[in-house]
Structure 1
Amino acid sequence: MVKRMVALIAVLVLCTAGTTEPMVVGGTLASVSEAPWAVVLTNKDAVRDSKRWCGGVLVAPNKVLTAAHCAGRSASSYGVIQGRADLADHSLGKFSAVSKIWVHPAYSTTTNRNDFAVLTLTKPMTGVPLLRLETSPRADRRGAVPTVYGWGDTNGTGPEDTLQKLAVPDLGDATCLGIKGYAENGYTAAANICAGYLDGTGDACQGDSGGPLVMNGRLLGIVSWGRGCAEPQYPGVYAEIAPVAKTLLEQVR
């Protein structure tokens, strides 16, 4: 299974630093006005000109929530961009360096559980709307249709390094638990959300890791892992916010 980040050794991918494979696959263009809290995590070691590494969510003026598997480098190597739908347009958006990284103490690279990290910005992004965390486990329910946002790879379904969005139906935990390899890779109903399309219509992809899965104005989950991108019968796996909301809130207040 491959994490959806940049250059990771795995089988499920969502955000890989320096990959040239897809973004949100099958999505549509999104504006920064509809998702002002969505941010891009850059890294000096990324091979792309844009230095895109992962996605993230502004949850406090000086705090960004992202995936733990995106946060394995030194804090000084990261940057955060907000308000720039097209990463090639340097005339728009805000930028901040990162001063500190907190990784969930129970994060496991083996099971991919607790895939959360909080970055502290050197320059608070004041005046930018924040996204509230979902605190109810009941929000993860089969049939709900949250939306994922990201600048990741698109597999040719959209422009590179440009903010995309995709509505991804919540398929329910039983769906992912029934997929060969998912349970072995760490999927659990207590910590993950299974969302996407079994026919391969669309999915998050490399470069989207850590990005927001949003429903009813709250952060339901963040992009974590999956098998390939938009592969039939292999939906995306998201790290669920509600079970760890209390721990995360302690880091962002």
Structure 2
Amino acid sequence: MLIRAALAVGVLVLASAGTAPAVAEGPRHLIVGGTLASTSEAPWAIALLNKDSADPSGQWCGAVLVRPNKVITAAHCMTQALATYTAVQGRAELLDDSAGQTSAISASWIHPGYNRKNYRNDFAVLTLARPLTGVPTIRLETNLKADRKGVVPTVYGWGDTQDTGPEDTFQKAAVPDLGDAVCLGIKQYAGGGYAASNNVCAGYLAGGIDSCQGDSGGPLVLNGRLLGTVSWGKGCAEQGFPGVYAEIAPVATTLQARINDAQVR
């Protein structure tokens, strides 16, 4: 399965079903089949940049602001030294250095249940060195029933568009919740670690619209709450393979405790 972080030059992590990740080439850049989004409609959306990124903008992953000095991202995004990351808010075009607020990362916490083989509990809570002032935060979804077939959450990010849109530019896409049974019915997903208790299955079986590389850790939002974060999938927008998101509600209490902890490490 393909995790959706934009990694360093020449490194893109792939995992075949039931096996440890292998290595292939190619950084890639934005939500596939999405539409342009305004940072004012999703002010809590964060671009997580990294000095080791192959992208000219430094784009690496997505994240979401849950407190002025705390963001949630994907655990699998946190592979580099902490000092190499920068959180950016309010910048629709990442190459426009004049827009938005930025902060270094002063501390990180990886969910203790995070599993690198199947990406269970794919969450990290980061502490910003400088709080982002005047920016609305987003609430965590706490209702386990929010993940249900038929609802239509929206995913946001600056990741790979596969030439369906401009690179390094904030985009969004509506991705219907297909229900856990759909992803569990896909052999590669069931074998790759999809779990109804940990994941949200969302997207289009026909393909064409999906989150992609560089979107990992970014927000999946339903009714103004954080339903999940971008985690993994087979390819991007491939027919028969929707996106897999790390589900917030089952771990909301654990995450909230870390968000409230001023000394999170």
Do the aligned partners of 1:27 and 1:158 also contact (CA within 8 Å) in 2?
yes
Cα deviation digits, residues 110-149 of structure 1 (max 9, x gap): 1210000011110000210001000001000000000000
Per the alignment, residue 4 of structure 2 pairs with: 4
For residues 41-120 of structure 1, the aligned pairs below 5 Å read 41-120=48-127
What amino acid is aligned across from residue 72 of structure 1 in structure 2?
T
Contact 2:210 2:243 in 1 (8 A): yes
User: What is aligned with 1:37?
Assistant: 44
CA contact (8 A) 1:151 1:208 kept: yes
The whole-number CA distance in structure 2 between the counterparts of 1:173 and 1:22 is 28
What secondary structure sits across from 1:231 in the alignment?
coil
Q: What's 1:151 paired with?
A: 158
Counterpart in the other structure of 2:209 = 202
Q: 2:90 touches 2:99 (CA, 8 Å); kept in 1? A: yes
In the comparison of the two structures, how many residue pairs are matched?
249
Contact 1:40 1:52 in 2 (8 A): yes
Q: 1:141 is matched with which residue?
A: 148
From 196, 199, 218, the equivalent of 1:192 is 199
SS in 1 for 2:14: coil
The one-letter code matched in structure 1 to 2:203 is G
Return the offset for 1:11: 4.1
Secondary structure class of the residue paired with 1:9: strand
The aligned counterpart of 2:22 is none
For 1:74 and 1:243, the matched residues in 2 are separated by: 29
Query: Which residue pairs with 1:15 in the alignment?
Result: none
Letter in 2 for 1:152: G
- Answering whether residue 132 of structure 2 is matched by residue 125 of structure 1, we say yes
What residue ranges of structure 1 are gaps of 5+ in the alignment? 13-17
Equivalent residue, structure 1, for 2:240: 233
Answer whether contact 1:112 1:185 (CA < 8 A) is retained: no
Taking structure 1 as the reference length, what is the TM-score of the superposition?
Answer: 0.96
Distance 2:225 2:184 in 1: 25
For 1:228 and 1:252, how far apart are their aligned partners in 2?
32
- 1:9 maps to a residue whose letter is V
Out of 20-29 and 127-136, give the one that drifted further.
20-29
- Contact map agreement 2:3 2:231 (CA 8 A) in 1: yes
Contact kept? 1:149, 1:163, Cα under 8 Å: yes
Corresponding residue number in structure 1 for 2:189: 182
Amino acid at match of 1:151: W
Q: What whole-Å deviation, never above 9, does each CA across 1:78-116 have from its counterpart, x for those lacking one?
A: 110000001111111000000111000110001210000
Q: What residue identity is the alignment partner of 2:206?
A: D
CA shift at 1:150, angstroms?
Answer: 0.3
Deviation of 1:20 after TM superposition, in Å, equals 3.8
Give the superposition deviation at 1:21.
2.9
